[in-house]
Amino acid sequence: MAKTQGTVYMKNTVFIFALASILMCGFEASAIGLNESVPAFEAIDDEGNVWKSTDHIGKKMVVLYFYPADMTGGCTAQACGYRDRMKSFRNLNAEVVGVSGDTAKNHQVFKKAHQLNFTLLADTDGTIAELFGVPVSKGKKTVTKTIDGVDVDLTRAATAKRWTFIIDRNGKVVHRDDRVNAKADPDSVEMFIKAVE
């Protein structure tokens, strides 16, 4: 009897580990991979307008980078790196688009505070991040920053992991980085685009 119970326990344990492995692999499989087409999506941009992917993707190279939050250290370094290389990206006919769970209003504050010269999309419910397979956590989070001597609360309901996608003129992913170094990302993306152009 003890041998039978031990066997059943062992089988149940193996089943649980196998199920966990399948679920974890299934999550990775949902991420958009290399040479896969990017599905159409829409979002509100930092000016409060509807941004349609079909107006941009497939017409030029698009750098779509997901980041956790406006006005935080790593996210600011990454955004300023893209800002400082914008002339080079334009010369490469590449458009840079940042995506976070922040609102359009938060994006306006972020852009003004750091003179950002590219589009930021508001993915307030994490739908776009999920569409791309980017891990996203839900729940209200607030960042408080002093801007022009005034404390400003920037609240978001979704926080995405830091991932970067480069999408070619055919609308396919040619580069995906799911282990992004915030400060180095703009430089490595620029080098990648120069190498494939």
Q: How do residues 134-158 score in pLDDT, each as one tens digit?
A: 999 999 999 898 888 889 899 999 9
What number of other Cβ atoms are within 10 A of residue 35's Cβ? 10
Q: Quick one: which of 129, 187, 178 has its CA closest to 158?
A: 129
Task: Answer for the pair 86, 157: CB distance below 8 angstroms, yes or no.
Answer: no
For the question of residue 25 being annotated catalytic, the response is no
DSSP state of 60: B
Which residue is catalytic, options 38, 69, 75, 143?
75
Task: Answer for the pair 50, 44: CB distance below 8 angstroms, yes or no.
Answer: yes
Q: How do residues 36-57 score in pLDDT, each as one tens digit?
A: 999 999 999 999 999 999 999 9
Task: Answer for the pair 32, 133: CB distance below 8 angstroms, yes or no.
Answer: yes
Q: How do residues 79-135 score in pLDDT, each as one tens digit?
A: 999 999 999 999 999 999 999 999 999 999 999 999 999 999 999 999 999 999 999
